[in-house]
Each structure stands twice: as C-alpha cells, then as structure tokens.
Amino acid sequence: MRIGFYPKLAAGNIKKNKRTYVPYILTCILTIAMYYIFKSLSMNPGMKKMTGAEHLAVIMQFGSIVIGLFALIFLFYTNSFLIKRRKKEFGVFNILGMEKRHLAVVIGWETLYVMLLSLAAGIGVGIAMDKAMFLLIGKVIGTQVVLGFFISPKVVAITIELFAGIFFLIFVNSIGMIHISNPIELLRGSNAGEKEPKTRRLMALLGVICVAAGYYIAITTINPIASIFAFFIAVILVILGTYLLFTAGSIAFLKLLRKNKNYYYKTRHFTSVSGMIYRMKQNAVGLANICILSTMVLVMVSSTTSMMVGMDDILNTRYTSEFIVMSHETDKARNQKVIDTVRTLQQDWDFDVANEIEYMFLTFSAFCNGDTFVVDRNAPVTAIDSSYVLFFITIDDYNRIEGTQKTLNDDEILIYSNRVSYNEPVMKLFGREYRVAEKLDHFIGNGIIAANVSNAQYIILPKLAQMQEICAMQKEVYGDISSDIDTFYGFESDEKPERKIQFYNEIAHTLKEQGFDARTECREEAKTDFVGLYGGFFFMGIFLGVLFVMATVLIIYYKQISEGYDDRERFVIMQKVGMDLGEVRASIRSQVLNVFFLPLVVAGIHVIAAFPLISRLLALLNFVNTRLYVICTLATFFVFAVMYVVIYMVTARVYYRIVSR
C-alpha cells in the first residue's frame, strides 16, 4: 500500500467516530492536565514557603499517584468501550482484505494521534492552570504567594513517560481484543451479549452478604484504631458487593418487573424492560462503576469540605487552651518553677492572660476486659480493639477546673468517656476496686488525649496519693516506656496573632534555656500546620471529586450511546408495527429512569452506611463536629444530584436522537 495510507485511514476513522472519540480525548486531556498540576505543585519550590509546606507537598504527591492509577484503570475501561463499538468496522476491513497486522497498524496510528493530541493539549492546559492552582491553594490556606511562573522539564518528562506507557498498554490491549476475534465475531462484536441472561441467585445472595458485611463493619466499629483497618475492609466488601448486586440483582429485579403483568404490559414499559434484560449483563459493570465513583465523590468532597469549614472546631478540640505548657519534671518544686517562669514572662511582656487552668495528671494505656483495666507491656496485637488511654486527675483539681464542689470517698471515682461509654458499676485496676460514683457528661480534658487514636477514660481520684500509687505500679509494668505525673498549665489571650506567636517562641526558648523538661504549644502557631494539612486535603478532595465526576459523566455518556445504537433497530421495527414517536419517547424515558438513577440511590445508601465509620476516622483528625459533617454531606449530595439530573437530561437527548433516526 502507498506510504501514508494507514495514517490517513486512522485520521479518517477518528473523524468518522468523533461522537465517541471526542469525549475520550477530552477526558485524556483533562486527566493529563490534572496529573501535571498535582505533580508540578508537589515539586514547586514556592510550596516550601507556604503554610504547612511539608504536609502540602506530601498531599500533592499522593494526589498525583491517585490520578496516575485512576488514569491507567479508567482509560483502559473507556478504550475497551471504543474498541467494542468499532468491532463491526474492523470486521468489514478484515473481510475486505485487511489482515489483522494491518488493523494493528491502523489502531497504532489512531492511538498515536490520540496520545500526541492528548499530551500536547493536556500538558499545555496543565502549564496554563498550574499557576492558577498555586494561587488558589494560597488563597485556601491564607498564605501570600510570590509572583512568577514555574515550569519543570522534569515534571513534563515524567508526565510524558507515564501517559506514553499507559497509551502503549492500551494499544497492546486493543490489539489483543482484535487478534482473538475472527471476522464474524468482529462483525457481531457490538451486538454481543444479546442472549437473555440467567438469574444468578447465588451471585445476588453473595452480593447482599458482601454489602451487608461492609455496612455492619462500618456501623459497629467503635474503636478509632480499628476504624482505620475496618475502613479498607468495608470498602473492599462494599465495592465487591456492588458489582455482584448490579450484575445479578439488576437482572433479577427486571425479571420481577416482567412478571408484574399490570406494569409490564404497557407500551412504555414493555419495550424498555425487555431490552434492558438482554443488555443488563454487559451494562451492569458500567452502572456499578457509576455507583462507586458517585460514592467516592460524595464521601471525599463532604469530608474534606467539612474539615476545611470546621477548622476552628478542629483546633479547639486539639488545643483546649490557647497556650499550653506541660511540665514533665518529676520534682514537685521544679514543676512549680516551670509555671512560675511562664507567669514571670507574662508580667514582663505585659501579656493579656485569661482563663488559666492548672492541674496535675497521669496518663498511660491499658486494655479493658469487662470492668477490669489490664496494664500489660506485652499485650497481644488482637487486644488493640480494647485499647484505652487512662487519664487521671484528683478531685481537688477537678473542682477547681470545673467550679464544682464534688466529694469522693477513698474507694470512689468519677469517670468521663470521650468516645466509648464505660457502663460498669465498678472499675478494677492493679487489683484495686473503685466504685463509679458518677458518670460525667463533660470534662475539659486534654487536647493531646482528645487527639489520641485510642479511646480515653478520664478518671477523677479522691487523693493525690492514690494517683502516685497508680503511677508507681504502672512504672513497674512499663519500665522505660512508663509515664510520670505531669503538670498542665493553660491560658487564653486576646493579644494579636503575631504577638501570640512571638510570646509562644519566647516561652519555648526560655524553658529550654533554663533546662526544664517541658513542652509548649500554641493554638495560633499550630494553626499554620493545620491549615496546610486540611487545606491540602480540601484541595485534593475537590480536584479528585471533579476528576471522578468527569469519569462518571463519560461512563454515563458512553452507556447511553451504546444502548442507543443497540436499541435503534428495535425501535425502528416497533415504529413499523405501530408505535408512534410519543410512545417511543415514553419507552425511552421509562428505560432510562428505571436504571439511570439506581446508581445515585445506591450511592446515597452507601454514604449513609459509611457515615458512622467516616465520622470516627475524622475524629482521628480532631474533627468531632458531627452536625457540620451532616450538613456538608447533605449539601454535597444535593449538588451532585442536581448535576446528575443535568447529565440525565443531556444524555437522554443524545439517546433519543440516535434511536429516532
């Protein structure tokens, strides 16, 4: 053949199939642009000057990895759809004399065109938007950014290498799909799967079991430590169950509709239900993908948005006082000297001070077995689910902090549970038994303990001597990793943020210079790191949410096109035997509504089931404002549902144009 025949044929093929190729190319361009932006931001030297630079760089790097994996999986999926739609075209070429090696050359040129166009446009868009995204991050976290334009040849090279590799794998996969098919199979390829599928009850039952098990884990897992591992198990079970239910359950559901004579034997339902039954086997994966992507968008955007909006709540949970000094000195006189030194600095600086809090406390870990807390340095890993942090203070300190006048006998305690309630009438520790005189519903607590991944029990003892005795016994068990009785001193201030940070630095410097074993914290100073961390999460959540929404739109679009071409001949025949255009529209509306909104409904159920587990995971990041999380989740679902309806209206119109030609 003449030189240039294959390149021209490939270009013509893309042009003729623009209805399917244009969305695919646009997806490639946007995916490449997003990968470039995240990778570029992770390596941008200007990021080092931003608030929370260390956290931001890690988050951007993680985001680029997620996008890279997503690109590999999703572009494979969409390209497989393209090849399936074009199998009939390749079959005609094959019958007319083109061998499969010639088809491979044509597909190679098509892949090359798509790759070059996508890389050029994607990197171009990425470079153009990179600075805007850099400025947007600065705006989100409230940091001034320097002007200038950053283009990294290394990032460009990495992007080209990654996506060139992905397109090469896509090309190999396409050749494999063509190579294993004979000409007749190619001609019938786009119509494969027209045999009525069987109702797979066992598969449907397994799907119900997987989803139910995932829901059970999400709802019943209480311990935040276990929540991290449980989250991944629950996600895997729900994803697997979703695929099984959409594959087997949807077929069973449609057959139930067919058995309902009052519903089935109507013009608009008869055609749609019968058509969907035959194609559901091949469309189930697409519906499951839509459901899973929708769930990911809802969870990711709602959780990151709630953390960003609830930044003040997070800081107040972690830092119960604006300034915190914790003395680890074992000598009581030196403990007092630490506090006196800070108060001297307050006077020297004429620093505004309010709401001072001071108390002695002891904290260490233990494992709960009924009403007994076991202190064991060599506890098995399986005991982690019953792990607790025990936090002890005296009744005198408690009354001074809370402004109460409670009293306790020597064998009594007060107890407050931060997450898992303690419901036993007594508490046993080191062979001693304490009666729970009262379960408190509030305690000012300690931010470090509140941020701990373990559950905590705050225990108020009658006397300091008892705390010292408990401290000595846990030292015998834990040895070099044991705890001492520490002193907590906290206070608030109405000074300006800049002066607060300056004073915090002065406290930290003075205590270190005088050789005290103490730690200093400041809410205002920590805010920079928190804003960087959660601002990065928010930015990544929104970006990945947009990416997954784009993927959802594309899957829905291709699904509608695929069904449109599959249904066109059937609707033509139905019109020839008497079905008018109004009935065609009604049948199309029934078909789309029956299945189209099912993924959104199931995604909403997934989000509701995941809510308890996600709430506990957010608690590990100091976010405990459940009401705000509910509001953000509902708002996210509403916005996503509106977008979903718009997508439905657009794609239903495309479907109708195809079948009514």
How confident is the model over 393-419, as pLDDT tens digits?
999 999 988 888 889 998 999 998 877
Give the confidence band of 330 by pLDDT, cuts at 50, 70, 90: confident
- How large is the average pLDDT for residues 347-351? 91
Phi-psi region of 527 (alpha: psi -120 to 50; beta: other; left: phi over 0): alpha
Phi-psi region of 483 (alpha: psi -120 to 50; beta: other; left: phi over 0): beta
The answer to whether 317 and 447 have CB atoms below 8 angstroms apart is yes
What pLDDT score does 282 carry? Answer: 59
Question: Of 296-310, 342-356, 506-520, which gets the smallest average pLDDT?
Answer: 296-310
Alpha carbon distance 594, 591 (integer Å): 5
Counted residue by residue, the chain has a size of: 661
- Beta-bridged to residue 313, according to DSSP, are none
Question: Who has greater pLDDT, 112 or 95?
Answer: 112
pLDDT at 189 over 60: no
Q: Percent of the chain, pLDDT > 90?
A: 15
What pLDDT score does 576 carry? Answer: 64
- How large is the average pLDDT for residues 427-434? 90
Cα distance from N-terminal residue to C-terminal residue, the chain = 37
pLDDT at 218 over 80: yes
DSSP H stretches of helix in 180-310 = 183-188, 201-220, 224-244, 250-259, 261-264, 267-309
Alpha-carbon distance values, 163 to 23, 38, 156, 498 (Å): 18, 15, 11, 46
Average pLDDT of the chain, as a whole number: 78
CA-based nearest residue to 218, from 606, 573, 590? 606
- For 625, how many CA atoms within 13 A lie in the half-sphere containing its CB? 21
pLDDT at 381 over 50: no
The answer to whether 327 and 486 have CB atoms below 8 angstroms apart is yes
Phi, psi of 487 (to 5 degrees): -115, 130
Give the confidence band of 283 by pLDDT, cuts at 50, 70, 90: low
Q: How many CB atoms lie within 10 A of CB 461?
A: 25
Alpha carbon distance 621, 569 (integer Å): 56
Give the confidence band of 279 by pLDDT, cuts at 50, 70, 90: low
Phi-psi region of 355 (alpha: psi -120 to 50; beta: other; left: phi over 0): left
The answer to whether 50 and 143 have CB atoms below 8 angstroms apart is yes
pLDDT at 435 over 90: yes
pLDDT at 35 over 90: no
Q: Is 354 exposed, middle or buried (0-12, 13-18, 19+ CB in 10 A)?
A: exposed
Alpha carbon distance 531, 629 (integer Å): 18
pLDDT at 345 over 90: yes
Q: Percent of the chain, pLDDT > 70?
A: 75
What pLDDT score does 47 carry? Answer: 61
Q: Is 446 helix (H, G, I), strand (E, B) or coil?
A: coil
pLDDT in tens, 445-464: 655 555 555 678 889 999 99
